[in-house]
């Protein structure tokens, strides 16, 4: 299994009720596996497909990005800084 | 200086950080909390950030600015936490030998910050609150754009 730490922010954090979730994923898992796993646990997350971006270790990545042990994955809802 | 702070931003400090004898001008943008948004009265804003990535992204923006324009210095300070009406949420200062570069670089830094930096703001109204960027949701309801 690949262990990753998923950070949730803003609306994602409100809906999940927490700001961090540890996930164990199958080898070969990509960033899209993270969202699909979250949707299994919290069906409300399904509305986010296509509306959130993802970051791994502080860099934006595509959903095909492969995950590695101890990666920090972040769910990035639409940003509104400034 | 590239910083995220919970304290009120001291604009003079940010300006001083970009001062340079080779600069002919300093362009400063101060983002302030507006008392209205989409025809509703805003009481305050609350900002939150994915701090390590936000800092990294701000540094990247500063790097892009230095690559694209001849500037002397650029500083960006963003505030997080509750920001009251009229208070500064972000200050960007750019010094350059010539005013054209200072204006253009400052605008680019702000526009890019607003698109890329993982910082979020929540608007507080008398009858609810909403995360900005989720237009189409009703007060108090958390959802995504329809």
- What ipTM was reported for this prediction? 0.94
CA-closest candidate to residue B58, choices B14, B19, B101, B8? B14
Residues of chain A contacting residue B54, judged by C-beta atoms under 8 Å apart: 81
**What's the CA gap between A70 and B3, in Å, rounded?**
27
pLDDT tens digits, A9-53: 999 999 899 999 999 999 999 999 999 999 999 898 888 888 899
* B115 and A CB contact within 8 Å: yes
Min Cα distance B48 → chain A (Å) is 7
* B79 and A CB contact within 8 Å: no
Of the partner residues A51, A60, A79, the one whose CB lies closest to the CB of residue B145: A51
* A18 and B CB contact within 8 Å: no
**What's the CA gap between B115 and B141, in Å, rounded?**
24
Got the DSSP string for A14-73? HHHTSSEEEEEE-TT-BHHHHHHHHHHH-GGGGGGTTT-EEEETTEEE-TTPBP-TT-EE
pLDDT tens digits, B16-58: 999 999 999 999 999 999 999 988 999 999 999 999 999 999 9
**What's the CA gap between B56 and B118, in Å, rounded?**
10
Contact B31 A10 (CB under 8 A): no
For residues B73 and B105, the answer to whether their CB atoms sit within 8 Å is no
**What's the CA gap between B121 and B63, in Å, rounded?**
25
With pLDDT > 90 as the criterion, what percentage of chain A qualifies? 87
Q: What is the pTM of this model?
A: 0.93
For residues A62 and A73, the answer to whether their CB atoms sit within 8 Å is no
How far is the CA of B128 from the CAs of A47, B43, B89, in angstroms? 22, 10, 21
Contact A55 B113 (CB under 8 A): no
Q: Determine whether B47 is exposed, middle or buried from the number of CB atoms within 10 Å of its CB (0-12, 13-18, 19+).
A: buried
Residue with tokens 């400090």: B13
């Amino acid at each position: 299994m690949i262990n990753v730490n998923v950070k949730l922010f803003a609306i994602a954090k409100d809906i999940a009720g927490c700001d961090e979730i540890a996930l164990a994923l199958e080898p070969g898992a990509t960033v899209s596996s993270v969202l699909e796993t979250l949707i299994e646990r919290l069906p409300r997350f399904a509305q986010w497909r296509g509306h959130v971006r993802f970051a791994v270790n502080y860099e934006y990545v595509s959903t095909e990005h492969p995950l590695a042990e101890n990666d920090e994955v972040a769910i990035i809802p639409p940003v509104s800084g400034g | 200086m590239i910083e995220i702070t919970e304290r009120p931003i001291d604009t003079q400090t940010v300006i001083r950080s970009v001062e340079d004898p080779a600069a002919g001008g300093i362009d400063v943008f101060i983002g302030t909390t507006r008392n209205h948004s989409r025809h509703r009265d805003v009481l305050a804003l609350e900002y939150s950030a994915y701090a390590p990535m936000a800092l990294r992204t701000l540094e990247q923006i500063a790097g892009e600015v230095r690559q694209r324009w001849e500037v002397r210095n650029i500083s960006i300070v963003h505030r997080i936490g509750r920001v009251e009406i009229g208070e500064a949420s972000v200050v960007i200062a750019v010094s350059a030998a010539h005013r054209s570069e200072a204006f253009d670089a400052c605008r680019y830094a702000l526009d890019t910050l607003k698109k890329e930096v993982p910082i979020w703001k929540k608007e507080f109204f008398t009858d609810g609150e909403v995360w900005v960027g989720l237009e189409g949701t009703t007060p108090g309801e958390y959802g995504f754009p329809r």
